[in-house]
Amino acid sequence: MKAVVYDMYGPPEVLHLEDVERPVPKDDEVLIKIHATTVNRLDCHTREANRSNGRVVMVLSRLVSGVRAPRQRILGSELAGTVEQAGRAVSEFKVGDRVFGLTGIRFGAHAEYRCMRDSARIAHIPESMTFEQAAPMCDGALNALWCLRLADLEKRPKVLIYGASGAIGTAAVQLARHFKADVTAVCNTKNLELIKSIGAGRAIDYTTEDFTKNGETYDVIFDAVGKQTFARCRGSLRPGGAYLATDGFRNIALAVWTSRFGDKKVIFKLPPVYTKGDVLFLKDLAEKREYRPVIDSVYPLEQVVAATKYVETQQKTGNVVLSVSG
């Protein structure tokens, strides 16, 4: 089968197509013929061994992914496709079923085939969705769901989402709306109408307005892109408010400190835990038309380097999809 592989850490150009051995499913696994996958920030950070995040993070990344070279040659953590083969112990899926799912740090989705256990984070694609629409269902949404659940929006209903036009941000807007939150979204000029159309009650253009200086306060500030700090956002939080972070090791210490001192909290819990039940929850929301991944663009698998470079500009709207087959 064809797959995008990399044998050394580095820039997007280390990625290349190669013929590799097709996997064979075990008794409790399905073999998925992949029709679409994505390029996301997990792929980008792993490929470069997190060099852009500093030396300490880079060392930790290499301990996980491989010290000298990548242990897993094929990236890609999201997929959508059809079941090509099912093991003897598989009961939930059958040959021909359309499925989507998340492989996470096991990767392997930038290829024509991938095996997954039927008990893994995999589900049937809603009938109304294409493979390209279903491929980015999980990564951004599960990250957003993990953070928003920790914030307890029933007690903290007024939410500001910074970086609302990215994969995590567009999912967070829709999920917060589902949880009946009052959503203010911060994004660039071109995405203001999009963000309103998916559930934001108010959209702020960060190129013309600084949300920390307009006098508004919120129960929750969710930094979906890691470009704000608790110190900068603290004045915009109400008493008892929470700052949600998706990355940044400083937030580990801040989460511990603010849990003991002060009435404004940093909520940052590692590692995030995503379950099959969470994937089924997203499927249910999609079937009810309460959640749809926002797609910026679709590239053929052969253009993975170009797709990756675009993701790394940090200017994409929603998700970047790779079309693999079909």
Q: Provide the CATH number for the domain around residue 175.
A: 3.40.50.720
Query: In total, how many domains does the chain have?
Result: 2
Please write the tens of the pLDDT for every residue from 287-301: 999 999 999 999 999
Q: Are residues 22 and 125 in the same domain?
A: yes
Q: Which two tokens stand for residue 61?
A: 């990344």
* Residue length of the chain: 326
Distance CA 207, CA 86 (A): 51
* Predicted TM-score of the model (pTM): 0.94
Q: Are residues 116 and 10 in the same domain?
A: yes
Q: Are residues 13 and 109 in the same domain?
A: yes
Q: Are residues 11 and 126 in the same domain?
A: yes
Evaluate if residue 107 carries a pLDDT over 70: yes
Q: Are residues 81 and 113 in the same domain?
A: yes
Q: Are residues 281 and 133 in the same domain?
A: yes
pLDDT at 50: 85
Evaluate if residue 101 carries a pLDDT over 70: yes
Please write the tens of the pLDDT for every residue from 40-73: 999 999 999 988 777 877 888 888 888 889 999 9
Q: Which long-range contacts (CB under 8 A, 24 or more apart) does 309-314 make?
A: 309/12, 311/39, 311/40, 311/41, 311/43, 311/44, 312/12, 312/44, 314/225
pLDDT at 326: 53
Please write the tens of the pLDDT for every residue from 225-249: 999 999 999 999 999 999 999 988 7
What share of the chain has pLDDT > 70, as a percent? Answer: 100
Q: Which two tokens stand for residue 136?
A: 């980015």
Q: Are residues 117 and 186 in the same domain?
A: no
Pick the last residue of a domain from 229, 245, 267: 267
Q: Provide the CATH number for the domain around residue 66.
A: 3.90.180.10
Tell me the pLDDT of the chain averaged across its residues. Answer: 95
Q: Are residues 192 and 298 in the same domain?
A: no
Q: Are residues 60 and 103 in the same domain?
A: yes
Rg of the chain taking only CA atoms, in angstroms: 20
Distance CA 74, CA 91 (A): 28
Contact 72/107 with Cβ under 8 angstroms?
yes
Q: Are residues 117 and 42 in the same domain?
A: yes
Q: Label residue 163 by pLDDT band (50, 70, 90).
A: very high
Which domain covers residue 213, as residue numbers? 140-267
Q: Are residues 239 and 163 in the same domain?
A: yes
CA 237 to each of CA 203, 219, 233: distance values in angstroms, whole numbers, following the listed order: 18, 6, 7
Q: Are residues 113 and 178 in the same domain?
A: no
